[in-house]
Every structure is written in C-alpha cells, then in structure tokens.
Structure 1
Amino acid sequence: MPYALFYQDAKLSKTYPTEADVWKLARKSGLVVDAVSGEEQSSLRPLLENNYEIRPCQAEPDEDPVKNKADADREARLEPRLN
C-alpha cells in the first residue's frame, strides 16, 4: 500500500511505496521535529509538525509510487550538500 503526506484530508505529496519514504521527504522539507516521549526525557522521537499525517492511500491512476521514489532519490543525489 502506498503512502503520502496529508494535512487534514488534503493529500500534499506524491505517493511513495513505503511510509519510511514519506518520513524522509517530510524530514527533508522541515516538517519533522524531535519530541520528548512521555516518561523518558532522554528519548527523542520524530513527530510531524502542525497536524500533518502520513497515511496509506491509493496512488492516482497516472501515478507510479516507485517512480516517485526513484525521482526523489535522484534529486537528492543532485542537490548540493551544505556542511
């Protein structure tokens, strides 16, 4: 089942093959913060900002989640890295 980034009921991203692929996209877009988890103050866990969600969804009829992932990976390799 493919996944995408949503805000309320609006799909904001292309669909990707796995939830991890969308987390990677969200982190790169600056939508992920590290939050302290409940009782363990030393443990941080990733959290999406502003009520964004990653949900399973159907790909659009003309959309290929595997191609979307390949395109995103290729773009990431071509972007200059800032140190």
Structure 2
Amino acid sequence: MPYALFCNDAQISKAYPSESDVWKLAQRSGLVVDVMADDERPGPRRVLDNDYEIAPCQAAQGEDPAKNKAEADQESRMEFELNS
C-alpha cells in the first residue's frame, strides 16, 4: 500500500511506495523536527511538524508511486550536486 503526506486529513503529497520514502520527502521539505526524550523513549526522536502526518493512501488513477519515488530521488541528487 502506498503512503503520502497529509495535513489536516488532506493529502498534500504524491503517493510513494513506502512510509520511509515519505519521511525522506518530509525531511527534505523541512517538516521533520527532533523532540527531546520522554519517559517512554530515550534520546531525541523524529516527529512531523504541526498537523502533518504520514498515512497509507490510494494512489490516484494513473499515478505510479515507484515513479514518484524515482523522480524525488533524482531531484534530491540534482539538489545535492548544485549545493556541492
């Protein structure tokens, strides 16, 4: 099942093959923050900022989550090369 980024129950990203892929997208977009440890979890942990969440979704008709991932990976590599 594909996953996407949501805000207030509205899907705001394309569908991606895995939850991990969406975490990477959220990280690159600046939506991931570190929260200090609490009694249940030692050390800082990653959470999404504000009302964002990652959840399973249905891919839109004609949408290919694997293609979305490949395009996002390519964009990320191009950004890295430009910043180097």
CA displacement at 1:10 relative to structure 2: 0.7
Instruction: Name the structure where strand makes up a greater proportion of residues.
Output: 1
Specify the SS of the correspondent of 1:24: helix
Alignment of 1:5-16 (within 5 A): 5-16=5-16
Specify the SS of the correspondent of 1:54: strand
Percent identity over the alignment?
Answer: 59
Q: How many residues align?
A: 82
How does the TM-score come out when normalised to structure 1? 0.91
Unaligned runs of 5+ in 1: none
Specify the SS of the correspondent of 2:53: strand
Unaligned runs of 5+ in 2: none
Once residues 17 and 68 of structure 2 are traced to their aligned partners in structure 1, the CA distance between those partners, rounded to angstroms, is: 9
Indicate yes or no: 2:78 matched with 1:66.
no
- Other-structure match for 2:48: 48
- Other-structure match for 1:38: 38
Runs of 4+ in 1 over 3 A off after TM superposition: none
Cα deviation code 1:38-65 (max 9, x no counterpart): 1278601000001100000100012000
